[in-house]
Chain A
Amino acid sequence: MDALIEKLKGQIIEQLNLAEVKPEEINPDSPLFGEGLGLDSIDALELIVLLEKHYGIKIQDPKDGKTIFQSLRTMAEYIKAQGKS
């Protein structure tokens, strides 16, 4: 799980162009939206594309996004649960 979280950190920084953020600064349990990384709705779309592109996971119901993208850890857990890690 830790290795997947580290991998996700790098992918998120690259996809969202978070040039100012270092991987070690991202707390895996902090919220991705609002507080924490302070992402917004456009970033949510970028994260959906990231999951599809890198892990072959398509989110069918947009309502699921709220739970999946709660934090880096919930994202990693979802990827693992889909057997795509």
Chain B
Amino acid sequence: MSRVTPSLTQAAFALLKRDLGLSLTRSGGPLLAIGFYLTLMAMIPLSLGPDQAVLSRIAAGLTWLCLALSSLLSLERLFERDYEDAMFDVLRLGPLPLGLIALLKCLSQWLGTGVILSLLTPVVMIILGAPVDMSLMALTSALLGSLSFALIGGMGAALSLGTRKGGVLMALLVLPFYVPPVIFGAGLMQAMQTQSSPWQALAFLGAYALFALALTPVAMGAALRSALN
């Protein structure tokens, strides 16, 4: 039987398609993260009281906190399923290096949950009393932030792969790295509310996402390699 070797881009798109399909359909897909996100947001006015003045002041920060926590949810299973049924060994036979495989999985995770949560972010902020004209900036920053969350989270998932306490351990490893996007994201929203320029914070958010994009595939590749051998 002749074996056709796909080109790098073909293989990458095939994997992205497969993983995106899986992340959208399996076990409820993004519904779980969306439900968690909205429930968390609904708890805020219920726990702090529905005072509009208080809520609108803290809406931005709390939204970012909830976004970070919701991004953690499905990460635990990001590599685990393919690790358990030895799919990784099959994937490694293909042309894609391990770091790139991990990166594509993180991207599909981002497209499957992060982007959807980001689309919800302006809505949620408006419900909490943030001004409507912040929506576009909220969406942009949430997109950049959730990309960082997915990549850093992927690194945590790769590092804690095969350990028994996966979930809690991963949160412990990953949340300190979530601090900068949360600071810059919430800072950006605060800057907009006080009429000062949000561009510096947005640049930092973008820089962090790019930085994660460059660094985490290397780290994930190394971590996966040590887990698989």
**A, B co-complexed:** no
